[in-house]
Amino acid sequence: RIKWARCLMYNMTETVESVCAHPVLRALPTAADMMRKYAATRTLIHNYEETMRAVWMNQNLWDVDDSLTNTLLKIDESGRITVNLDHTIKLLIRESDCLVKMGLELPIVCHSLYAKKNYFTLVNDSLQVSSYHV
């Protein structure tokens, strides 16, 4: 959501700058209206990003704890052994990777998961191969 907000802001800014740089377009009355709407929308998007950052920073530690206590292997409906790495862990690692690239701070629990992402990938891949051969 933060990435979406930043992309939206980037595209809006690019459009507004193009209009402002054009001598004919910037003289139109609609250009002034666009600038007012842009300023209001910029504030709204900034507030939205701040809200999403606050939600992200307050990740519920218990959700991660529950995910980490699941067994790593399970038997599916067909009787095959499958890897049971909780989707929450994969999602948090993926989101953390994206936020690190944007230069945003991570909550401590996500920072720990992100630091161990290669370990989780190795375990998942190793168990995937092992369960396939069983």
Same domain membership, residue 68 and residue 30 = no
Q: Token pair 């292997």 is at which residue?
A: 73
Same domain membership, residue 96 and residue 42 = no
Give the range of the structural domain holding residue 107, as residue numbers without chain letter: 59-134
- Cα separations in angstroms, 56 against 6, 8, 41, 107: 16, 19, 22, 7
Same domain membership, residue 37 and residue 97 = no
Over pLDDT 90: what percentage of the chain?
A: 33
Same domain membership, residue 37 and residue 83 = no
Same domain membership, residue 68 and residue 52 = no
Handedness of CA 24, 25, 26, 29 (dihedral sign): positive
Pick from 2-16, 62-76, 80-94 the range whose average pLDDT is largest. 2-16
3-class DSSP assignment, residue 81: strand
110 versus 59: the higher-pLDDT residue is: 110
Same domain membership, residue 47 and residue 66 = no
Same domain membership, residue 38 and residue 64 = no
Same domain membership, residue 80 and residue 38 = no
Pick from 21-35, 101-115, 119-133 the range whose average pLDDT is largest. 21-35
Same domain membership, residue 79 and residue 20 = no
H helix or E strand, kind and range, residue 72? none
Same domain membership, residue 134 and residue 71 = yes
Same domain membership, residue 129 and residue 63 = yes
Give the confidence band of 129 by pLDDT, cuts at 50, 70, 90: low
How many structural domains are present in the chain? 2
Q: Please, are residues 16 and 63 in contact by the beta-carbon 8 Å criterion?
A: no
